[in-house]
């Protein structure tokens, strides 16, 4: 009994430290609670969450596996396991784990976050069903801490797309609990959702100033800097992210886009090629390499990459359009016109394709396309005369010699 | 022949580019078989040839000139080809028409039509030559710079 109450004390303290992003201390407290045999699964779950937040993905996954294997398995763990699968680009597992989280999680926050992540990923009917389940499950907990209650309200408003109300609630959360890190991240996410990256950026900077833990918001920071066209900053954060998860094609793609925007084309091509290395069917990466090569005059390379892109997505109007220009450059006018025609057929708003088609047709109408007979200018006539004279003299010399 | 045309019509629905190349090949082949065979193919695919004239105008010009120089084919069939090539012609068509007009008797009933086509082409080309400065291609489409989650 005494051990349990001591364990509870350490666990509660650990949770408090976790909320304040004091992860080292929190980890120690949770480990002490585990040694006192108090809510082992919940302690490991929190340790896993901290590992995941600090981008120690494989360690976090192992810890979550321990939670799943234990007898007192917690439903919340599915949400975090799902997040790990998302990092590994396994979207099927991600989805199924989020659904499990909605069904089995006791806490409201992971349920709401899982529901939010599933929006637009499952069909509307299923999502409504999941929403119903996730909302009705509030009855499970009777004593919800005040901070979680406020966070729950804010997340619900965000789910309902009542942006102003959600922002107001998050601001209330931040003024009441300025030491809790989650409010900052969630508020930044709202600003990103309503396409106000400058406000998200401001919140994230405030977070950095307060917690000095960039790892927790690296992804958000990279995204906001990218959206705000602060490409050098985006490159900095993306490189850090890549160092933490070096096999993510999307991160390499984002890095490539940022590098190309700062005109570092060689590095951008390297990054896009890396993205292709980890995902050989990455259409956008092929297309972007084609664009970079085309912009720098490497027509053959651009042609290769655009053709591969086209084999992955033949209905992409812009690829067809750019191929039209490349074929024009290499003087294959039939192909060029075909691609412009196709580009316009695929996207009737792409008026440039139609314009280019007409320009080429008109240019070719004005040209003589038959092979012209050999015409000699003055220089070639003189040179031919000299050659003949030289040949005659050579013959005379040879004749005399014989 | 009819089977081949049916196949081509089927291909037209399936793969436009492939259809154009096959039609070009068929036209080239029919060029050696005489004006009647050639005109038959042209009349079967007149709409396509006129609409996508750029893809076929070189063959039309070449054939027209060839039939005219050979002097074996009836001029009515040559005129049939001119009716197709004339409105969509290019500088080569103009040259061919010039050659035909030089040798064709002025009292022929076809002469005014030929002259008309030649004048129209001349007008079209000189109009385009005046506008050559404006004939510039649009730039390539830029990269995809969306953030990938």
Is A373 a residue whose pLDDT tops 50?
Answer: no
In chain A, pLDDT over 70 holds for what percent of residues? 95
Distance from CA of B124 to the nearest CA of A (A): 9
The pLDDT value recorded for residue A371 is 44
What residue ranges do the domains of chain B occupy? 2-132
The pLDDT value recorded for residue A365 is 82
ipTM value: 0.77
The pLDDT value recorded for residue A105 is 86
Q: How many CB pairs under 8 A join A and B?
A: 88
Q: Does A226 touch chain B (CB under 8 A)?
A: yes
- If DSSP codes are grouped into helix, strand and coil, which group holds residue B135? coil
Q: Does A40 touch chain B (CB under 8 A)?
A: no
| Range with lowest mean pLDDT among A9-23, A96-110, B29-43, B127-141 | B127-141
Q: Does A378 touch chain B (CB under 8 A)?
A: no
Give, for A356, the enclosing helix (H) or strand (E).
helix A351-366
The pLDDT value recorded for residue A376 is 65
3-state secondary structure chain B: CHHHHHHHHHHHHHCHHHHHHHHHHHHHHHHCCCHHHHHHHHHHCHHHHHHCHHHHHHHHHHHHHHHHHHCCCCHHHHHHHHHHHHHHCCHHHHHHHHHHHHHCCCCCCCHHHHHHHHHHHHHHHHHHHHCHHHCCCCCCCCCCCCCCC
The pLDDT value recorded for residue A6 is 80
| Of the partner residues B16, B135, B145, the one whose CB lies closest to the CB of residue A261 | B145
The pLDDT value recorded for residue A71 is 76
The pLDDT value recorded for residue A73 is 67
Choose the most confident range, by mean pLDDT, from A379-383, A398-402, B96-100.
B96-100
Interface test with A, best of B144, B146, B149 (most A CBs within 10 A): B144
| Of the partner residues B89, B140, B148, the one whose CB lies closest to the CB of residue A254 | B148
Average pLDDT, chain B: 88
Tens-digit pLDDT profile for residues B50-67: 888 888 898 999 999 999
Tens-digit pLDDT profile for residues A44-94: 999 999 999 988 888 999 999 999 988 776 788 999 999 999 888 888 999
Is A367 a residue whose pLDDT tops 50?
Answer: yes
Distance from CA of A224 to the nearest CA of B (A): 10
Is B82 a residue whose pLDDT tops 50?
Answer: yes
Determine whether the interchain pair B91/A366 forms a contact, defined as Cβ–Cβ distance below 8 Å.
yes
Distance from CA of A360 to the nearest CA of B (A): 8
Is A217 a member of any domain? yes
Q: Return the ∠ at Cα A374 (arms to A373 and A379), rounded to 5°.
A: 150
Tens-digit pLDDT profile for residues A170-192: 999 999 998 899 999 999 999 99
pLDDT category at A138 given cuts 50, 70, 90 is low
Tens-digit pLDDT profile for residues B6-52: 888 888 888 888 888 899 999 999 888 888 999 999 999 999 898 88
Is A374 a residue whose pLDDT tops 70?
Answer: no
Tens-digit pLDDT profile for residues A247-257: 889 999 999 99
Give the long-range contacts of residues A299-307, CB within 8 A, separation 24 or more.
A299/A326, A299/A329, A299/A330, A302/A326, A303/A330
pLDDT category at A326 given cuts 50, 70, 90 is very high
Boundaries of domain holding A174 = 148-228
Q: How many CA atoms lie within 13 A of B59 on its CB side?
A: 25
Average pLDDT, stretch A356-360? 89
Distance from CA of A47 to the nearest CA of B (A): 25
CB < 8 Å to A333, chain B:
54
Is A247 a member of any domain? no
Give the integer Cα–Cα distance in Å for A401 and A62: 96
Average pLDDT, stretch B80-106? 90
| Of the partner residues B17, B58, B143, the one whose CB lies closest to the CB of residue A288 | B143
Which CATH number goes with the domain that contains A181? 1.25.40.10
| Range with lowest mean pLDDT among A327-331, A366-370, A379-383, B89-93 | A366-370
Residue with the bigger pLDDT between A67 and A3: it is: A67
């Amino acid at each position: 009994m005494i051990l349990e109450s001591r364990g509870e004390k350490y666990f509660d303290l650990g949770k408090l430290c976790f909320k304040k992003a004091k992860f080292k201390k929190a980890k120690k407290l949770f480990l002490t609670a585990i040694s006192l045999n108090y809510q082992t699964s919940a302690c490991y779950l929190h340790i896993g969450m901290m590992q995941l937040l600090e981008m120690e993905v494989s360690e976090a996954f192992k810890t979550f596996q321990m939670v799943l294997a234990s007898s007192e398995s917690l439903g919340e763990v599915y949400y975090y396991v799902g997040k790990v699968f998302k990092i590994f680009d396994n979207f099927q597992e991600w989805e199924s784990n989020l659904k499990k989280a909605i069904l089995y999680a006791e806490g409201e926050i992971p349920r709401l976050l899982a529901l939010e992540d599933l929006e637009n990923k499952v069909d509307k009917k299923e999502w409504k069903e999941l929403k119903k389940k996730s909302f009705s499950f509030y009855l499970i907990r009777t004593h919800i801490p005040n901070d979680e209650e406020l966070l729950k309200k804010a997340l619900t408003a965000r789910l309902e797309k009542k942006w102003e109300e959600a922002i107001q609630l998050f601001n209330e959360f931040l003024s009441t609990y300025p030491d809790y890190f989650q409010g900052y991240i969630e508020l930044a996410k709202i600003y990103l959702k309503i396409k106000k990256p400058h406000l998200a950026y401001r919140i994230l900077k405030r977070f950095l100033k307060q917690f000095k833990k960039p790892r927790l918001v690296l992804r958000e920071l990279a995204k906001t800097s990218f959206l705000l066209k602060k490409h050098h900053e985006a490159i900095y954060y993306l490189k850090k992210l890549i160092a933490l998860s070096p096999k993510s094609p999307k991160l390499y793609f984002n890095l490539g886009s940022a590098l190309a925007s700062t005109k570092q084309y060689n590095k951008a091509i390297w990054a896009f090629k890396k993205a292709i290395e980890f995902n050989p069917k990455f259409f956008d990466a092929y297309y972007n390499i084609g664009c970079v090569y085309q912009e720098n005059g490497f027509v053959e390379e651009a042609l290769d990459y655009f053709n591969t892109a086209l084999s992955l997505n033949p209905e992409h109007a812009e690829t067809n359009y750019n191929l039209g220009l490349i074929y024009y450059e290499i003087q294959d006018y039939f192909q060029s016109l075909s691609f412009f025609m196709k580009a316009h057929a695929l996207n009737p708003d792409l008026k440039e394709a139609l314009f280019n088609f007409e320009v080429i047709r008109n240019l070719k109408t004005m040209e003589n396309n038959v092979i012209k007979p050999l015409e000699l200018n003055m220089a070639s006539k003189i040179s031919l005369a000299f050659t003949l004279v030289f040949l005659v003299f050579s013959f005379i010399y040879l004749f005399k010699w014989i | 022949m009819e089977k081949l045309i049916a196949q081509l019509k089927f291909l037209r629905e399936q793969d436009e580019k492939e259809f154009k190349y096959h039609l070009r090949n068929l036209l080239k082949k029919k060029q050696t078989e005489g004006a009647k065979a050639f005109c038959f193919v042209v009349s079967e695919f007149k709409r396509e040839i006129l609409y996508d004239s750029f893809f076929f105008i070189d063959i039309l010009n070449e054939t027209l000139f060839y039939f005219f120089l050979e002097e074996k084919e009836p001029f009515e069939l040559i005129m049939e080809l001119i009716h197709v090539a004339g409105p969509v012609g290019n500088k080569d068509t103009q040259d061919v028409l010039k050659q035909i007009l030089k040798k064709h008797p002025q009292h022929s009933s076809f002469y005014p039509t030929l002259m008309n086509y030649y004048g129209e082409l001349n007008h079209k080309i000189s109009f385009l030559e005046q506008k050559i400065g404006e004939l510039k291609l649009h730039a390539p489409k830029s990269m995809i710079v969306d953030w990938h989650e």
